[in-house]
Amino acid sequence: MGKPLHRVELRLQERVPLYGRAAITGFFEVFNLFNRANYGLYDITETSPTYGQPVFSPNLSYAPRTMQMGFRVQF
């Protein structure tokens, strides 16, 4: 069994009314805010020199810090 995941995610969002029902919404998101290392897989080959050490996992839950920005237009 691996260690538990430790992730903090943050989303900032702002809605700006334009005219009538129209508006634009911008957002900024950060995943794994504190960039904590999370390991999901461990080397279990007993003859390997890295036996018991964490190895890369392609699962998004174990990814390093990532950010994204976007916007949405409503009318």
Entry field: residues in the chain: 75
pTM, entire model = 0.72
15-53 core/surface letters (b: 16 or more CB in 10 A; e: else): eeeeeeeeeeeeeeebbbeeeeebeeeeeeeeeeeeeee
pLDDT of 2: 61
**In this predicted model, what pLDDT tens digit does every residue of 4-29 receive, in sequence order?**
778 999 999 999 999 999 999 999 99
C-alpha–C-alpha distance, residues 61 and 58, integer Å? 9
**In this predicted model, what pLDDT tens digit does every residue of 25-62 receive, in sequence order?**
999 999 999 998 888 788 888 999 989 888 888 888 88
Provide the token pair at 10.
Answer: 């943050």
